[in-house]
Structure 1
Amino acid sequence: MAVPSPPAWLAPSAPERRAGATPKILLAALLTGLLTAWLLYDGLGPNLLLLGSATAVGAGIAARTAGRRIRPWTAVWSLLALALLAVPARWDAGWPAVPAVVGALALASLALHGGRRWPGVLFPLPGIVWQLVSSVVWVWESMDRRPLPGRDRIVPVLKALGVAAALLTVFGLLFASADAAMADLLGGLSPDLDLDQLPGRGALFVLGTVTVLGFAHMAAGPRRWDRTVIRPGRERRRLEWALPLIGLNLMFGVFAVIQAVVVLGGADAVLSNTGMSRSEYARQGFWQLSVITVLTLVVVAVANRWAPRTTVADRRVARILLGLLCLLALAVVASALGRMWFYVDASGLTRLRLWVLVVEVWLGAVFLLLIAAGLTRRAGWLPRVVVLSGMLTVAVYGLMGPDAIVAEQNVTRYEQALRDDPRTAAIDLRNVRGLSADAVPALDRLPEPQRSCALQLIGQGLGAESKPWYATNLAATRAREILAERPRVDSTTVGRTACDQAGLASEAW
């Protein structure tokens, strides 16, 4: 059966050659799979750093076999990937850990591909996804072609052991579930192995092994995505291209002037005329401004693709109009940040509010990079720096402990309100009760019954038993110490009504 040829756009990026898999690569993958099954079953923590380092060893063996060398950007992406994997080791919250782990996998793929242009930087990011199956085929074919001394004697024995292990495992699980005495006997033969954990640990073993093989497959012969041909868009006439941008720049300019008037003294007038509260005015229009910011990036990319570039004057007009649009877009970013800051000052900080603040700051940084690329007239550095800025944002966001920041800001606001007027001081416990153990040091400063109400769900989430060192984190360890020194008041003593009355009604978001 003939193998279908790849699409025309994909063919130029095919690797010139790919080194075969070696027994060392297979051994590294199997050992990492065992480590994954052992370390990752109980949760996330320093185990991700250990598994990431083991994966890097497997990929390094494959790269060395293929004759590849470490380059500066390879080291940058690799170190940043390890920094992202350190987030679960430091903090307990799971929601910042998810983008950190995904970002680490993407950066590891980018480090092995080493692209420069936009295709070479963006296409490798999800590279591990489509390498999983092909890497297993690669190892199988490499091992099948590799001469092995005593192959005729060793291979049948390995096959027999594999079949015997599979049969014993399946029938052993069935017998153990059917008879308690048989379960005790099998448990005595393997005292440290919980039979209920076998499916989960087996899945982790496969995941760890295949992941290492996937990265090794990349390292042995990565696709050269920089060779992908992207034809420039058809040039538009200057008037056809410039007129929409001029109109958009004028609209952005009017908005910037209005915002400047509000900032310089019109905010009180706007509040009195609209009748809205501080938080309502701050919340009104924020999401629209965020959408405008993202759409502006799309407009800049599309307009740059079809911009006239035949003459020097055409290129100058393109730089001026696009640069002005990016500059005015910074006013939109500043307005969105100002509204969110106004909202936080009025109603406190939440996870979502902190996240959108960080995203808006990153979007502003992207516009600054676009302006810098236009001023220097050399944009070869832009793709890698944009990805670097995004991944640095994810790393800083995760490592700074978002839940700890949210709790600290809310507790500090409450303490200030107590000093100003204890009769009206209140804290919205709905903003902090659902936080992770990262928030415990800040929430521990609250008076009773607010303290016990805020720590109730967090204490239940920590549980009575601590996890192994490789599956826990510094924040959870610190939270356990605090709760051991100052146990929270039992919920039956505090009472649900007291907890409900201790906080204000939560804002919309």
Structure 2
Amino acid sequence: MHAEPPARVRTATLWAALVTGVFSMLLLGDGLALNLLLVAIPATLGAYFAAQAAGRRPRRWSWAWGGGGLALLIVPALRDADWPSFLAVVAALAAGSLALHGGRTWTGMLFGPIGLYTSLLTGPAWGWRGLRERFGGARGNVGPVLRALAVAAVLLLVFGALFAGADAAFADLLGGLMPDASVAGTPWHAVLFVIGVVGALAAAHTAAAPVQWDRVEVPPGRARGRVEWALPLIVLAALFAVFNAVQLAVLFGGYDAVLEKTGQTYAEYARQGFWQLLVVTLLTLLVIGLALRWAPRDDARDWTLVRAVLGTLCVLALVVVASAVRRMYMYVEAYGLTRLRISVVGVELWLGLVLVLIMAAGIWGARWLPRAVLAGAAVGVLAFGLVSPDGAIAERNVQRYEETGKFDLDYVRGLSADAVPALDGLQEPVRSCALERIARDLKQEKEPWYATSWGEARARGILDDRPLSPEADWNVCMRLRTELPYR
């Protein structure tokens, strides 16, 4: 489990850490968009150089995790909404940790990030030792390098200012490319520089000497007898079968069947059961995990029994997943789409994917299952960000308004700039009232190019081409907020 001592830090790794710190200082102070990906690239190269120096050759899954982590950082560059970007950044950190550690087992993949956090302390010390070695261990030898960097900075500042004063076009170009370096922001820029360098060295140290959590052996649970193990699961499967039969008869039987058997509307019926079915799915996965730990395993007949019972339970659980998704669809049809509703449907679909993977593992073996489950989660987060959830929410609510005349104006006003293309299709004055808050926020927040998402830039272009109607004033919007039904 213990990490091997890392190899001597390469010069390329030190340069990569320096570039990461400079990029962090210059780019991350204005928000997160494309700049996060730009900062991650030199940090990734530094980790690659460190792994090479340690004799670690990246394997297919390391490339997949690393590429997936960088791909996830595209989401903040595309979407203005904070919540899918936050999920993407968290998933990118997890994927990056897996790329650095190369875990295969559940233990290695779940506990691997611990080594990354401990490297926040050991990584900078490792980098400093390497820097001292390159200058003969004497502090005085670092002075010429620092003086050279200072002279280079002064030359860039002086001649850059002169060129900017000589040509207005060059001044505009320089102003658009260079971030704000005001004196007031200097302490914050210094903090960002330190964070960038420390983070890059921590990643490189982890790549050079990862903690081998895969070597930790988890003792298997005590095998149970066939009857003791199978009887509770068979009873549970029978309960699933009865419930699913009712679902097929009632839920998919149409609106009249729901009214006749329950006395409820479609929306009431859907809202009543979705959350319970989501919990059922989670508990089913827990039951399957515990059942595998205590499964009988004396001979081939035991494994046949395990596959048959758990496979049946997985199939029945998939029907429960379909029922839960169907219920949420009914609820959205009645009341519109929201961030919470689209999020929980995404989680339910991923849980269904996990059930399918468990069934496949029962046929072809489970060695690949931990990687597949976490890869499915990462792909799901990436797809969630790429489809623009705020845009999908706005589009569905606009469609519902056109079909029924019902529109939750208060809710769509709180969406991000990603919703502007869909809301732009509304008729006035509803359009201007829906976009007023977003337009005001866009006017107040003018970030540089590297901190501006594509969704925000696209929204600005739409609002510039078709400004808000001056007739949609505060009184008109307040009247619409009270008059428009949303249920």
**TM-score normalized by the length of structure 1:** 0.85
Q: Secondary structure at the match of 1:100?
A: helix
Deviation at 1:220, TM superposition (A): 0.9
Alpha-carbon displacement from aligned partner over 1:241-298 (angstroms, at most 9, x marks no partner):
2221111111111111111111452652332453323211111111111011011111
* Counterpart for residue 156 of structure 2: none
Q: Is the 8 A contact 2:247 2:323 kept in 1?
A: yes
Q: Is the 8 A contact 2:115 2:210 kept in 1?
A: no
* Counterpart for residue 500 of structure 1: 481
Q: Cα RMSD over matched residues?
A: 2.4
* Counterpart for residue 420 of structure 1: none
For residues 133 and 467 of structure 1, the distance between their equivalents in structure 2, rounded to whole angstroms, comes to 33
* Counterpart for residue 400 of structure 2: 413
Deviation at 1:52, TM superposition (A): 1.4
Deviation at 1:347, TM superposition (A): 1.4
Is 2:424 the partner of 1:444?
Answer: yes
Residue correspondence of structure 1 range 85-104 to structure 2 within 5 A: 85-104=73-92
Residue correspondence of structure 1 range 330-341 to structure 2 within 5 A: 330-341=318-329
For residues 18 and 321 of structure 1, the distance between their equivalents in structure 2, rounded to whole angstroms, comes to 48
**Worse-matched range after superposition: 457-466 or 224-233:** 457-466
Q: Is the 8 A contact 1:450 1:502 kept in 2?
A: no
Q: Secondary structure at the match of 1:95?
A: helix
CA 1:301–1:66: 2 relative to 1, 3 Å? same
Code of the residue aligned with 2:89 in structure 1: it is: V
For residues 152 and 94 of structure 1, the distance between their equivalents in structure 2, rounded to whole angstroms, comes to 45
- Gap runs ≥5 in structure 2: 149-178
Q: Is the 8 A contact 2:3 2:209 kept in 1?
A: yes
Same amino acid, percent of matched pairs: 48
**Worse-matched range after superposition: 459-468 or 286-295:** 459-468
**Worse-matched range after superposition: 80-89 or 17-26:** 17-26
Deviation at 1:124, TM superposition (A): 2.0
**Worse-matched range after superposition: 434-443 or 232-241:** 232-241
1:277 to 261, 265, 278: 265
Q: Is the 8 A contact 1:107 1:125 kept in 2?
A: no
Deviation at 1:501, TM superposition (A): 2.6
Alpha-carbon displacement from aligned partner over 1:175-196 (angstroms, at most 9, x marks no partner):
xxxxxxxxxxxxxxxx963232
Is 2:241 the partner of 1:253?
Answer: yes
Residue correspondence of structure 1 range 380-419 to structure 2 within 5 A: 380-417=367-404
For residues 219 and 266 of structure 1, the distance between their equivalents in structure 2, rounded to whole angstroms, comes to 56
* Counterpart for residue 456 of structure 1: 436
Alpha-carbon displacement from aligned partner over 1:136-171 (angstroms, at most 9, x marks no partner):
233234445x2624826325789999xxxxxxxxxx
Deviation at 1:61, TM superposition (A): 1.6
Q: Is the 8 A contact 1:373 1:382 kept in 2?
A: yes
Is 2:181 the partner of 1:193?
Answer: yes
Is 2:109 the partner of 1:129?
Answer: no
Q: Secondary structure at the match of 1:70?
A: coil
Residue correspondence of structure 1 range 11-160 to structure 2 within 5 A: 13-125=1-113, 127-144=115-132, 146=133, 148-149=135-136, 151=138, 153-155=140-142
For residues 264 and 290 of structure 1, the distance between their equivalents in structure 2, rounded to whole angstroms, comes to 19
Q: Is the 8 A contact 1:105 1:128 kept in 2?
A: no
* Counterpart for residue 160 of structure 2: none
Deviation at 1:95, TM superposition (A): 0.4
Alpha-carbon displacement from aligned partner over 1:23-69 (angstroms, at most 9, x marks no partner):
43233212211111111111111111111111111111211211222
* Counterpart for residue 342 of structure 1: 330
Tell me which protein shows more helix as a share of its residues: 2
Count of aligned positions: 457
Code of the residue aligned with 1:359 in structure 2: it is: V
Deviation at 1:101, TM superposition (A): 0.6
Q: Is the 8 A contact 1:290 1:336 kept in 2?
A: yes
Q: Secondary structure at the match of 2:366?
A: coil
Deviation at 1:416, TM superposition (A): 2.8
Q: Secondary structure at the match of 2:295?
A: coil
Alpha-carbon displacement from aligned partner over 1:320-378 (angstroms, at most 9, x marks no partner):
111111111101101100100111111111111111111111111110111111122x1
* Counterpart for residue 474 of structure 1: 454
**TM-score normalized by the length of structure 2:** 0.88
Q: Is the 8 A contact 1:429 1:502 kept in 2?
A: no
Q: Is the 8 A contact 2:250 2:261 kept in 1?
A: no
For residues 301 and 443 of structure 1, the distance between their equivalents in structure 2, rounded to whole angstroms, comes to 45
Q: Is the 8 A contact 1:426 1:502 kept in 2?
A: no
Q: Secondary structure at the match of 2:473?
A: helix
For residues 394 and 502 of structure 1, the distance between their equivalents in structure 2, rounded to whole angstroms, comes to 37
- Gap runs ≥5 in structure 1: 1-12, 162-190, 418-424
CA 1:356–1:402: 2 relative to 1, 3 Å? same
Alpha-carbon displacement from aligned partner over 1:431-490 (angstroms, at most 9, x marks no partner):
311110000011011112211111121112212463211000111111111111222135
Code of the residue aligned with 1:452 in structure 2: it is: S
CA 1:45–1:156: 2 relative to 1, 3 Å? closer
